[in-house]
Structure 1
Amino acid sequence: MSHKDLQGFIKALEKKGELKRIKAEVSSELEITEIADRISKEYGSALLFEKVKDSPYPLLINAMGTFERMSMALEAETLDEIGDEIKEYLELRNYLTIKGLIRSVPRLFRLLYALPLKRPGRGKCQQIIEKEVNLYNLPVLKCWPLDAGRFFTLPLVFTKDRNTKQQNVGMYRMQVLDEKTTGMHWHKHKDGSEIYGGYKAKGERMPVSVALGCDPAITYAATAPLPKMLDEMMLAGWLRKSNVTMVKCVTNDIYVPANAEIVLEGYVDTTEDLVLEGPFGDHTGYYSLADYYPRFHVTCITHRKAAIYPATVVGKPPMEDCYMAKATERIFLPILKMQIPELKDINLPLEGVFHNCAILSVRSAYPGCARKVMNAVWGMGQMMYTKLVVIVNENVDVQNLKEVGQAVLRNVGSLHDLLLSEGPLDALDHSSDKALYGTRLGVDATTVRETTGKENFKVIQISKKYPGEAKDLLMKHLKENDDKFVIAVDDSVDISNFSLVMWKFFNNIDAKRDLIALENKFGIDATKKWKEEGLTRDWPEDITMSQEIIDLVSERWKEYGLD
């Protein structure tokens, strides 16, 4: 039985003991973030804050913040179950015999759920219509101390292509600028930005509607890397085994899910000057820098009676968004296998925050197979932003980072096993010298070598006093020691925390600039870079909570009922 809406999912979570209700009044400015961050790091429950200061709306957070809840959200026992179902659709042999076709009938009938239904009249999301807009009534979070303001963090932004009239939905953060407008943070490589360009070329207003609080399959589908010709609501309907019902907005021609909790209707004026948006504590664990984006004008707010506001917090992993990324990993694996026949499995480690690392196991049947796979990954949609691609043999469990590490230490023996590839990087990558472009690193760990007893890995701390000092110290260490791989991090990094070290490593390197080699030994400079080391832009701050809020939450912890 599908979750028909967000409130149905909340009931299911509560029935399974996966939800905690917080009855104490809390603030949407920093306090909720600190609570949710602590719970997330403990692999804890979903949280429903029933009383948010200065807002009539309860707030739900961390609803998909574990593997189990992410699976529940998508109507499955495990995320692999969904990937296995997709694999069955892609197996051509299932349709080549009468017996196979008969067995496939239930599977084929399920495809009917992929068709969204446009219903006339009003939906539950339009039980209340507010033409007098005041965004400050919503419990929009200020997540981190250096954020520029309050941000919608789980919005489903619906747009319509000017020429084809096809709808698109994406998840783009939105900074509240005043009581009626927000920023619209769609990057250059996002569909929303491309659709915006079509309206801008004609100097026209672009209709936009934002759904808040849909059922979890719809929310996930908005983040999925689908081809442009596929409507995200088709994936949502298939996942939830129930067609998504859409209704037309009150003030524009956009259709939104009928059972959404809240809908913001409005437009973007493409003739208007862009507005400064950010900084924002982002999913990389760093503050993304301020930049200029379009302004979204909200002309109407519709919502359900007793609506619940959805939110998420991003920052240093693991956090709720990590499990959404893992869902994408498992769901789209069969499709990747169709395009890369050598592929056995893939792991996007949590510390890689979506785009910084992918580990793939392959059946290496011919020379150069690993390089072929690396280039295939970099040529495939949003995977082109993957900064580090590690290839291991099929007998290595990519979900076991210890096994992967041993394979890399044993099998990478020279620079020939590394591939440096210049190309596009994600807009949130801060480590390259220039924005949006840098060097990706491929690691071929498929050539099985005999152990030499010198497969050592070392992390060293450095307090840099001059530009390039980290690389100097790395070279000195490589000359004086037998360590095969050495990573340099700033002295503020706790090197006993392996997850933290890997997060710094994945985030802070540009391979062309930061990799050094001495014979068959390698050093990586994962320290914060200075302008004098080649940067053309500012290096962002790590996300940390203010001590005042940390103390406040610690003092109130029992009051929240979270002991």
Structure 2
Amino acid sequence: MHQRSLPPFPSLGSFLSFLNEKSEIRTASAPISMHLEVTELHRKIIEKGGPALRLDHALHEQGRAATFPVITNLFGTRQRVAWGLGTDPEGLASLGELLAWMQSPKPPRDLRQAWSLLPAARNALHARPRAAAPPREWREAEPDLSQLPVQTCWPEDAGPLITWGVVVTRPPGDDNFELYNLGVYRMQVLGRDSAIMRWLPMRGGAKHHRQWQAQGLDCPAAVVIGADPAILLSAVMPAPETISELALAGVLSSQRVDMAPCAHIPLHAPASAEILLEGTVSTSKTALEGPFGDHTGYYNAPEHYPVFTLKGMRIRERASYLTTFTGRAPDEPSVLGATLLDVFKPLLRQLIPEILDIWLPPEACSYRIAVISIAKRYPGQARRVMLAFWALLPQFSMTKMLIVVDDDIDIRSWDDVMWALATRMDPVRDLMLLDRTPIDHLDFASPLDGLGGKAGFDATRKIGTETSRDWGRTIQPDRDVERRINQRWHEFFPEQMPK
């Protein structure tokens, strides 16, 4: 069973020190504007698989110097995402197996298996967050958003945007950590003490907001900008609703999450926060948000969302301001999505056992298209997998196109996938269309806002009642001949060897 292989990172600073030891962070001392310039620098660095960046002389849009160093591209490579999860890229699958076990634990069959499950049991204990005193490193600051070096990412953006804020909410009633939600929602800064909270209706924060609205009260919300990597990553992982983000953070860090009381709202927040914004999200006041450049590669249309009012602000000594940009891949969210999918696969296979592998092509906006491989056993199995996948998680309900292939297809090779589509699919028989299903609000191709179609492509070999024809045999080279030619390659091309 999975065990964390790296030392704990109790804060963002400790993780940055680790990255420095690995030569995975670069400090830039030249002045750079948070208005467009940071996005362009970040974009060029992430395209090359470059390091995290610490910008010591960031400039506000008006040209004044920022009082915080700015961190960006923190999770810009698969390696750094894995390190943030406490492991290396090879350990992502075993971490996923642990999460799958936690979702549906099974009793051990014998003493040996019981012994092997001890790390999992310890991790389950770490999943319980605990109340703690506010850190001594926190200091009360004037509640003024203009202190923050907030980034403007794209030329036609409506304004500066808090892009890496982990928003903490809870439902009305008892302050129960098990009911907390952590989510990353972008926030358009309107003024010194107000911003727009853009959360979609299916998100956990929006659900809590509706519950407070039903009681006629504004929703308390804490916004954490910068924290230990387990908190940051748990807020963006596609975890089932039965596993809270705080529990997930405890499992990732192998230690219980300390939650400190807020000073101005009835809420607790992670004690590892670098910058903590305390406030309320109005249940009656909205403002027009956007347009902003988004992961689709387009500017989204302006929409009304509720207004966040800042009540208090606390800042850690020597705090860093964490930021990123969102745009057409490659960007940081696309790297996170591709890496975290490997963690989620064991749970996905537990819930849909037919699935052998899945790929969300980054160039398809991370989740708009999914390619799934199965070991087909019965007619109609591909369609069953499609319907189960769309219903599994809110994120997957946004997937517009599913391509299901057999286990002999390399799902990460468009050559293989296109060959399967061209030779194993009949457009009339094997295309499943669904109408008026939930779709990303940012999808301009959908005919209605938030409602659109889905297409499932069954590119598997047809068996049983799926066809009345004999299926063709796939051409395969003679393995002995293939091996013999490889061994004799130098006889034909003395200066070249087979790739």
TM-score when scaled to structure 2?
Answer: 0.86
Moved more, 225-234 or 426-435: 225-234
Instruction: Give the gaps of 5 or more residues in structure 1.
Output: 454-563
Alignment partner for residue 24 of structure 1, among 26, 30, 37?
Answer: 30
Q: Within the alignment, does 1:191 sit opposite 2:204 as a pair?
A: yes
Q: Within the alignment, does 1:83 sit opposite 2:96 as a pair?
A: yes
Q: How does 1:94-493 map onto structure 2 within 5 Å? A: 95-119=108-132, 121-124=133-136, 127-130=138-141, 132-163=142-173, 165=175, 166-271=179-284, 273-382=285-394, 383-422=396-435, 423-447=437-461, 450=472
Q: Name the aligned partner's letter for residue 155 of structure 1.
A: G
1:66 corresponds in structure 2 to 77
1:171-191 CA-to-partner distances (Å, cap 9, x unmatched) read 110000011100000111111
- Partner of 1:392: helix, strand, or coil? strand
Q: Name the aligned partner's letter for residue 71 of structure 2.
A: L
Query: Structure 1 residue 452: deviation in Å?
Result: 11
1:472-513 CA-to-partner distances (Å, cap 9, x unmatched) read xxxxxxxxxxxxxxxxxxxxxxxxxxxxxxxxxxxxxxxxxx
Instruction: Give the gaps of 5 or more residues in structure 2.
Output: 1-6, 463-470, 476-499
Maintained 8 Å contact 2:81/2:339: yes
Q: Give the number of equivalent residue pairs.
A: 449
Q: Which whole-Å CA distance do the structure 1 matches of 2:270 and 2:286 have between them? A: 29
Maintained 8 Å contact 1:262/1:302: yes
Percent pairwise identity: 33
Residues 233 and 416 of structure 1, relative CA distance in 2, 3 Å threshold: same
1:484 corresponds in structure 2 to none
- Partner of 1:390: helix, strand, or coil? strand
1:211-230 CA-to-partner distances (Å, cap 9, x unmatched) read 11011221111112334443
1:51 corresponds in structure 2 to 57
Moved more, 87-96 or 238-247: 87-96
- Partner of 2:379: helix, strand, or coil? coil
Q: Which whole-Å CA distance do the structure 1 matches of 2:393 and 2:474 have between them? A: 39
Query: Structure 1 residue 395: deviation in Å?
Result: 2.4
1:461 corresponds in structure 2 to none
TM-score when scaled to structure 1?
Answer: 0.77
2:486 corresponds in structure 1 to none
Maintained 8 Å contact 2:93/2:346: no
Query: Structure 1 residue 451: deviation in Å?
Result: 8.8
Q: Name the aligned partner's letter for residue 52 of structure 2.
A: A
Residues 85 and 400 of structure 1, relative CA distance in 2, 3 Å threshold: farther
Q: Which whole-Å CA distance do the structure 2 matches of 1:27 and 1:436 have between them? A: 35
Maintained 8 Å contact 1:263/1:302: yes
Query: Structure 1 residue 87: deviation in Å?
Result: 5.1
Residues 240 and 400 of structure 1, relative CA distance in 2, 3 Å threshold: farther
Q: Which whole-Å CA distance do the structure 1 matches of 2:122 and 2:105 have between them? A: 17
1:56-103 CA-to-partner distances (Å, cap 9, x unmatched) read 011101111111111111111113342244456678677122221122
Q: Which whole-Å CA distance do the structure 1 matches of 2:326 and 2:110 have between them? A: 49
Query: Structure 1 residue 377: deviation in Å?
Result: 1.1
Q: Name the aligned partner's letter for residue 157 of structure 1.
A: V
Query: Structure 1 residue 11: deviation in Å?
Result: 0.9
Query: Structure 1 residue 450: deviation in Å?
Result: 4.0
Maintained 8 Å contact 2:103/2:243: no
Query: Structure 1 residue 202: deviation in Å?
Result: 2.3
- Partner of 1:438: helix, strand, or coil? strand
